[in-house]
Structure 1
Amino acid sequence: MSEKTIALVTGANKGIGYEIAAGLGAAGWTVGVGARDERRGAEAVARLRAGGVDAFAVPLDVTDDGSVRAAARLVEERAGRLDALVNNAGIADPGPQEPSALEPATVRRLLETNVIGVIRVTNAMLPLLRRSAHPRIVNQSSHVGSLALQTAPGVDLGGISGAYAPTKTYLNAVTVQYAKELAGTGILINNACPGYIATDLNGFTGTGTPAQGAATAIRLATLPDDGPTGQLFDDGGVVPW
């Protein structure tokens, strides 16, 4: 079993996920770079290693049961355990977001990655996390998933989002249930709001950098043992559900 601290970051070949991997690596962690595209994953690992990060590629399609099982076996063979899982992989949709105009197939596709994919990966990695002395799970959420913010007068979350935002609301809700189930196990699970970050998810219209967007997830992945669990955070602190 590896003596180094081990993390797996999904969707880590670019954007915020890459910067989470880079940040954890800079802190001395060994980082599994989860990527659906093996070539892009290998390229990301090469860039991270060139910067001094102990990184390894983890081919991983969060929508595929076999791929997720294979990723869990790879992490086990490489490290014997997992200290932090960062469920960063997510998708949006450029089509109409008014609920009345949504295609059910669009909703299903977003749910498969943004919610079911998180559940699939988390459940596959839990046996490895249970072997860690300080296990952490971080789910990448969004301010748009907060019902409190969505219904607060004067809060601008960018307009109607009938498909993407509800997937993050669902993710927030399922995280609360994981926190209840995992209470007393030492596994801390929290959700991160990276902010409006310039990535291909929003056509690079965001105002923040991927490195800025990675900061909250990195902090939650490295919480002390008496840290919070079952909460939603951004760089300013707790965000209401």
Structure 2
Amino acid sequence: MSGDPRVLAVDQFVQTRHQYPPAYLDPASVRLPASFTVCIIGASTGIGEHIAYAYARAGAARIILSSRTIGDLQVVAEAVEKINPAIQVDVVECDVSHAAAVEALASYVTSKCGRLDVLVLNAGYAGPVTLKMDQGNPDWVQRAFDVNALGTYLAAHYFVPLLLASPNGAKGFIAVGSVAGCLRRGPIANTGYTVSKMAQIRLVECLHEQFADEGLVSIALHPGAVKTRMAEGNTPEVFLPYLTDDVALCGAVCVWLTKQLQDIMWLSGRLICATWDMEELMAKKDKIIDGDLLKFALVTE
């Protein structure tokens, strides 16, 4: 994916990688529980939009769609209802970087839905690529941390209590992260984005440490290199040909993980990639546990 050896090592962690959802990840082959409720923050376009479609195909009972832009959400809501006419769809505006907005969204879900099985946090901000700290605008870096890092904290702060309190809930917190959090060099090593994404991934690890004993499964999921609206607007021309992964892949993996969350607690607190073959990843369970892999660590020897 880049010249950074750490990212190359992540990319090659499993032998088989996918650009499109393989047949066994087809969300339509999954049947979620009758009361299953999912909230997707950052659902207005691209990856978040297709995460919503995946849960609709899997038979979710209710989907709460949220983002900063209500207009786009209405279009997604209509598409979700066409996929699954029995589904209940809620559209709620929320800027994940503002505590009051996230608190209001959590209060809405609590009062209107009464439960939440999975929160998928897809909201993100990249900003124009600047490769050195004396370049660009500090406001771009501030926004990256506000959305990617603080937004993850706020989502956890306000939604984890509801996830844990939902009767027979799946108790899943999935943050759409990025292996860019491992980047230090190369043409897309955008300082604000990469470091804020590293912070996001570490927050997911902390969530596991703090709430795993209560049944919460927290996963950071890299969606692949996808040509989304945000990526096209912020990716250097030289890297655009590498944005070849399907926009629906991440949603298919989200649903697949959701169906078996309580059987994959050993993946909690880790960063995984939607492009990896999930069956090969499952086969690495003992290696991952024994080495405490797929986490950030300070190398001392």
TM above 0.5, yes or no, is: yes
Deviations 1:62-86 (A, max 9, x none): 1222221221122112220110001
Aligned counterpart for 2:53 among listed residues 11, 17, 22: 22
Q: 1:199 to 1:42 in 2, by over 3 A?
A: same
Once the two structures are superposed, the pairs formed by residues 28-177 of structure 1 within 5 Å of their partners are: 28-29=59-60, 30-52=62-84, 54=87, 55-132=89-166, 133=168, 134-146=170-182, 150=183, 158-177=187-206
SS at match of 1:93: coil
CA contact (8 A) 1:88 1:140 kept: yes
Q: Structure 1 unaligned segments of length 5 or more: list them.
A: none
Query: Are the equivalent residues in 1 in contact too, given 2:152–2:203 (CA < 8 A)?
Result: no
Q: Which has the larger radius of gyration?
A: 2
Say which SS state the counterpart of residue 184 (structure 1) adopts: helix
Aligned residues: 233
Identify the structure with the greater helix proportion: 2
> Partner amino acid for 1:137?
F
Contact preservation (8 Å) 1:106, 1:163:
yes
Counting aligned pairs with the same residue, the percent is 23
Distance 2:255 2:101 in 1: 25
Partner residue in 2 for 1:225? 262
Look up the SS of the partner of 2:173 in the other structure.
strand
Distance 1:124 1:172, change over 3 A: same
Output the TM-score relative to the length of structure 1.
0.88
Distance between the aligned counterparts of 1:223 and 1:18, measured in 2? 22
Q: What is the RMSD of the two structures over their aligned residues, measured on CA atoms?
A: 2.2
Is 1:8 aligned to residue 44 of structure 2?
A: no
Cα pair 1:193 1:216 within 8 Å, conserved: no
Paired residue for 2:18?
A: none
Q: Is the 8 Å Cα contact of residues 8 and 85 (structure 1) preserved in structure 2?
A: yes
Pairwise CA distance, 1:95? 4.3
C-alpha spacing 1:224/1:96, structure 2 compared with 1 (3 Å): closer
Go from structure 1 to structure 2 and tell me whether the alpha carbon gap of 1:60 and 1:159 turns closer, same or farther (over 3 Å shift). closer
